[in-house]
Each structure stands twice: as structure tokens, then as C-alpha cells.
Amino acid sequence: MSTRVKLAVAVFGAWGAFGNLSGQMPPMPNPAQAAAIKKFDWWVGEWKGSGWTEMGPGPRHEFTIQETIAPKLGGVVLLIEGIGKSKGPDGKEVTSHHALAVLSYEEKAKQYRMRSHLANGRSGDFELKVLDRGFQWGMQIPQQGEIRYTMKLTEKGEWFEIGERSPDGKIWRKFHEMTLGRVQ
């Protein structure tokens, strides 16, 4: 037997033994977490659409977007990936938004959490509030106020989402809107 084969056998043998030190089967998905995430089955699939964002003074930035939502880890989390495209200054299509998020349910706290990562390196951890036919999440921005996003499934079965900002939590101004249809 060659040295490489012996090394491979030793590494995989040790890994197998380490992975099964307790002598038990691998852990099964947590039933409470899986049941909580199952409430989002209506959202799972591939979605495409368009929208706009208006960040401060200036024209609206229009985009097309594709979102893919898939259950992972035996159904205890959802993986969400969004890729938005828009026309660059030269008129060519460029990626203007790329995000990845994980939606989970914290059984002890009895709350949904969404951990998101953007291609520009920013990330965040947000509580997700379940609404009738949708959800809402947001954040506080120091010295600027609050931002919230509200997603609803329309009567036509479309994903309709708005983003709003408020300096005081009372008066809200819409800065983002998108509508997506289910592809799969």
C-alpha cells in the first residue's frame, strides 16, 4: 500500500471515529425548528421580477432581480440568494445587488432570525416578524432613524416588497419597491 493511500485511510478512519465518538447516529433536524420553517413553504422556489430603489436625492435606480429560496439542513433553515441587475453608466447590464441570507428559528427565544451577507462585505442579523401572508424585518441606523422592509404574498401569488425609512418611527417614506413572480 502506498504512503498516500495509508495516509488517506488514516485520515478518513480518524475522521469517521471522531464523528461517531458517542456511538450515536448523527443528530436529526430539530422538529420545532423544522415546523417553524415549514410555515415558509409558500416562499420556497425561484422568483424573478423588477423594482426600483431611490437612495437620497436623484433619480430612481431600476433593476431586475432573481431570488432563490431553498430549505437546507433537513428543513431547519432557508437559504435565500438574491441577484439584482441594472444598466451601468455605459448602458450594459451589471450586477447591482448580490445577497445571501439564512432564515432560521430560535426555539428558545421563539423568534425568527435572518442573517444576511452582501457581496460588498456588509452583513447583518435581524429579527423577522411574521405577518399575514408575509413578513417584516428592519434595522436602526445611528443618527438616521429606522429602515424596515415588508414582504407580502399578493392575491395573485406575487412577491411584493417595499422598503421604508423613518427618522422617528412615526412617519415613513418608501425608498424601495419590487414585484416578483414565481418561476418554479
Per domain, the residue ranges of the chain are 29-182
Report the pLDDT value the prediction gives residue 150, as an integer from 0 to 100.
98
* pLDDT single digits (tens) 104-129: 999 999 999 999 999 999 999 999 99
Q: How far apart are CA 175 and CA 115, in angstroms?
A: 22
Q: What angle do CA 29, 104, 122 make, to 5 degrees?
A: 135
| In the predicted structure, residue 24 carries a pLDDT above the cut 80 | no
CATH architecture for the domain at 29-182: Beta Barrel (2.40)
Q: What pTM value is reported for the model?
A: 0.81
d(CA 166, CA 163): 10
List pLDDT tens digits, range 62-104: 999 999 999 999 999 999 999 999 998 899 999 999 999 999 9
